Amino acid sequence: MKEYFSNIWVGLSTIAIGMKVTFKHLFVPAVTIQYPNVRVELPERERNRLYVNMDDCIGCDQCSRACPVSCIEIETVKGLPTEDLGKTSNGKKKALWVTKFNIDFAKCCYCQLCVFPCPTECIYMTDVYEFSEFQRNNLIYDFVTLTPQEREQKKLNYQKFEAEKAAEKAAKKPVTPAAEIKAEVKVKTETPPPSSDNSQQSNLKEPGENKGS
């Protein structure tokens, strides 16, 4: 009998306690937010969509190689000796035309490993995190600033240049093979190269120097 009444008492009193708790929560400010109107402030070092500043990109391919999921695709074409590609913001000379710089954000795992190797700090994380698409292909971002025609043009230019050089070599070879070796030695020792003929060759070597540095 005692248990019976204590059951009733426990039942009623615990309901009262529970109701008190829920009533208090009725006036607690909501912890949720109205998302598209109100946004949570992102942490300082958040990792979201990548951005590539193509003005600074030298086409060194280091980000692509650092990528664990191979989502960055880079193709470059050597610039012609006559062309001036300008300098990056931290003073590095650009030597390559970047004809393809695709990042596939469907593959990207937002690990930020591509950001650190970049010698010119031109690839970095932004605070954009709303970029869903209906087509998976739309997630492949093209960062190259050149138009498709220009890209083709740069490739053709270089092929033409190579062909001309090869033809030149082929023309020179049978006459004086020794003279050419001498010229190469000259280029290595002389800085800066004075004649236009030599400067062509030194320009072509620059990418190699870059990789070494």
Partner 1 sequence: MMYDFFVDLLGNEILAAIVTGVPPLVFILVFVLFAVWLERKVSAHMQDRLGPMRTGWHGYLQTIADLIKLIQKEDISASANDKPLFNLAPVLVFAGTYAAFAAIPFSSYYIGSNLDLGIFFIIGISGLVVAGILMAGWSSNNKYSMLGAMRSAAQIISYEIPTIIVVLTVVMITRTLNLHTLSEIQTGYFWNWMIFGGPTAGLEKFLLIPLMFIGFLIIYTSMLAEVNRTPFDIPEAESELVSGYHTEYSGMKFAMFFLAEYANMFAVSAIVSVLFLGGYQSPIGYLGNLFDAPWLIPVEQFFWFTAKGTFFVFVQMWLRWTLPRLRVDQLMALCWKYLIPIAFVNLIIVGLITVL
Q: Where on the chain is the footprint of partner 1 (CB under 8 A)?
A: 7-8, 12, 15, 18-19, 21-23, 25-32, 34
Tokens of 150: 């220009």
Give dist(CA 213, CA 211) in Å, integer.
6
Query: If DSSP codes are grouped into helix, strand and coil, which group holds residue 69?
Result: coil
Quote the least distance from Cβ 26 to partner 1, whole Å: 5
- Give 128's strand partners: none
Quick one: DSSP state of residue 87? B
Burial of 133 (0-12, 13-18, 19+ CB in 10 A): exposed
Closest distance of CB 149 from partner 1, Å: 47
Given strand 140-142, what is the order of strands in its sheet?
72-78, 96-104, 140-142
Nearer to partner 1, 15 or 166 (CB): 15
What is the chain's percent helix, strand, coil content, to nearest 5?
Answer: 40, 15, 45
For the CB of residue 132, give the shortest distance to partner 1 in the complex, in Å.
20
Which residue, 8 or 179, has its beta carbon nearer to partner 1? 8
The residues with which 77 forms a beta bridge, in sequence order, are 97
Q: Which residue lies nearer to partner 1 by CB, 2 or 25?
A: 25
CB of 212 to partner 1, least distance (A): 60
Between CA 188 and CA 200, with CA 163 as vertex, the angle to 5 degrees is: 30
Q: How far is the CB of 18 from partner 1 (least distance, A)?
A: 4
Closer by beta carbon to partner 1, 31 or else 175: 31
Nearer Cβ to partner 1 (23/134):
23
Closer residue to partner 1, CB minimum distance, 18 or 194: 18
Contact 121, 162 (CB under 8 A): no
What is the C-alpha separation between 78 and 177, in angstroms, rounded? Answer: 26
Q: Measured from the CB of residue 11, what is the shortest distance to partner 1 in angstroms? A: 8
